[in-house]
């Protein structure tokens, strides 16, 4: 039994603010595997 060693290259992309989803969709459409972790943060509403 042989175990093949697979190597993957990782790239980090720096985007403009709020442009992450646009880039994610563009890369996904080109069949490029994409990892885009998201954190949902609840913000408190401030009454003025």
Per-residue pLDDT of the chain (48 residues; tens, 9 = 90+): 677 888 888 899 999 988 999 999 999 999 999 999 989 888 887 776
Please report the pLDDT score of residue 32 as a whole number: 93
Please report the pLDDT score of residue 46 as a whole number: 75
Structure tokens at 38: 């998201």
Please report the pLDDT score of residue 17 as a whole number: 87
Structure tokens at 14: 């720096």
Please report the pLDDT score of residue 21 as a whole number: 94
Please report the pLDDT score of residue 48 as a whole number: 63
């Amino acid at each position: 039994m042989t175990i093949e060693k697979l190597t993957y290259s990782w790239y980090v992309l720096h985007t403009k603010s709020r442009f992450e989803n646009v880039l994610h969709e563009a890369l996904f459409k080109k069949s490029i595997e994409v990892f885009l972790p998201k954190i949902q943060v609840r913000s408190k509403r401030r009454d003025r």
